Structure formats: structure tokens, C-alpha cells
Amino acid sequence: LHQTYGSVTHSLEDILVFQMLGGTAYIPMYNFLARGIMIFYYFITILFYTCFFFL
């Protein structure tokens, strides 16, 4: 019962995200954007810690 409930809520979340992003066309772009933001964030963090270490 719990597993069925979990899969139902998961598919509901997928549908919500799908609606928010406006369909399948935007999903790869969104993933690319999210990956870019994460890389940028990590780069800034590493840069900050490197500067902090050398100061």
C-alpha cells in the first residue's frame, strides 16, 4: 500500500514539474541550466576557499 502511494505521489510530482516547465521541450534545457548553476556554484566555492587559504 505504501509503495503504491509513493509511486502515485512521485508521478504527481513529475506531472507538476512537467507543467511548471511547460512540457518536454524545456526539460533538457532545464537540466543543462541546473547543471551549469551547480558547476558555477562549486567553482565560486572552490575559488573562495582558495583565496581564503592564501590570505
Q: What is the pTM of this model?
A: 0.38
Cβ-Cβ contacts under 8 Å for 27 (sequence gap 6 or more): 18, 21
Lookup: cell for 49: 576557499
Q: Tell me 1's DSSP state.
A: -
Instruction: Convert the pLDDT of each residue in 26-48 to its tens digit.
Output: 555 566 777 777 788 888 888 88
In the chain, pLDDT over 70 holds for what percent of residues?
42
Report H helices in 1-55: 2-21, 27-54
- pLDDT for residue 25 is more than 60: no
Say whether 55 sits in a helix, a strand or coil: coil
Distance, CA of 55 to CA of 52 (rounded, Å): 5
- Residue ranges of domains in the chain: 23-55
Q: pLDDT-based confidence at 2, cuts 50/70/90?
A: low
Q: Give me the mean pLDDT over the 4-19 stretch.
A: 63
